[in-house]
Every structure is written in structure tokens, then in C-alpha cells.
Amino acid sequence: MGIVETALKYEGFPTMKYQDPDVGNTPKAFDCSGFVQWVLLESGIAIPNVPGTDRMLRHAANFFDSLGFYIHEECREPGDLLFMSRVGYRPTHVAVYLGDDEMIHVTRKTGVARAVISDYCGERQPKFRPEKGYPQIYVRNPIGYKRVEISPGDRPQEPHQ
């Protein structure tokens, strides 16, 4: 079963706010990164550890930094991960792209749910907070897409030696 089919299977499941990497990653209650972690593992995608630790990637920023490869928005495909930021300098939310400007993600109000990306992101743009001393990197959501599932014949070529 692919990433999209697996993710849709959990539509309507309960959710929670991210608190700790050891909770929020089962069907009892998902946070956004716990949902993506669960879906990827159930889809047969190997998730690496956070560099320098023995803990599997578990936060939106970790997934953005260490899983899959970045793709341009024009090349996105169903099953790609999509990342958003509330703060403008790091990813704070991750979802699964469904196609046709739709995603499935964790919401606190309605559980695991579908949303129209342009509607959802149009209302949630990163906040510039110079008083906190953070550099502003992102000015609009989504901030990026990553592909984690590719067939062996589609792998990028190795550089020539």
C-alpha cells in the first residue's frame, strides 16, 4: 500500500499537540510528525535516525533536514511530504500531499483530515519575529516538498567519478 492510501486510512483518527517524541505517533492519537512517521513506516519506508543519535526521525524539522530529497512545487506528486512553518525560520508542520491542491494532516479540531492547501496555507503565513533574534528564511507556506518514495529505476544518478 502506498503513502497516500495508508494516510487516507487514518482520516478522522484522533490527534494531539506535539509534546514528546514518545507520544503522538500511534492511532490512539497522532501529532503531525507522529502521523507522518506512522504512515511512512506502515508504507514500508525506512526512516533514518536523527544524526548522531539512536532515535528515529520524529519532528517536522528532522524530516525536512534528513529524509528524502527536496522537489520543486511544480514537480510535486501524491505521496510527497509537504512542510509549513509558523515561525519563518524552521519547519513546524508536516503533511502528506494528496494531489489536486489537497493534503492530509493533523488538525487539533477535527483529527486527521484533508485540507485544500491554498486555503489552509493562505491563512497561515510565517510570522516575522525580529525581536526574538530569529532569521527570517520563509515568507510563505508551504515552505517545501520532499519526496521519500521512489522506485529503484528512478533514483538520481550517481555523480561520475
Across all residues in the chain, what is the average pLDDT?
90
DSSP secondary structure string, the chain? --HHHHHHTTTT--B-----TTSSEETTEE-HHHHHHHHHHHTT---PBPTTSSSBP-SHHHHHHHSSEEE-GGG--TT-EEEE-SSSSS--EEEEEEETTEEEEEETTTEEEEEEHHHHHHT-PPPP-GGGTPPP---SS--EEEE----GGGSPPPPP-
- Tens-digit pLDDT profile for residues 61-100: 999 999 999 999 999 999 999 999 998 889 999 999 999 9
Residues of the chain falling short of pLDDT 70: 150-161
Please identify, in words, the CATH class of the domain defined by 3-150: alpha beta
- Provide the pLDDT for residue 161: 44
Domain boundaries, the chain: 3-150
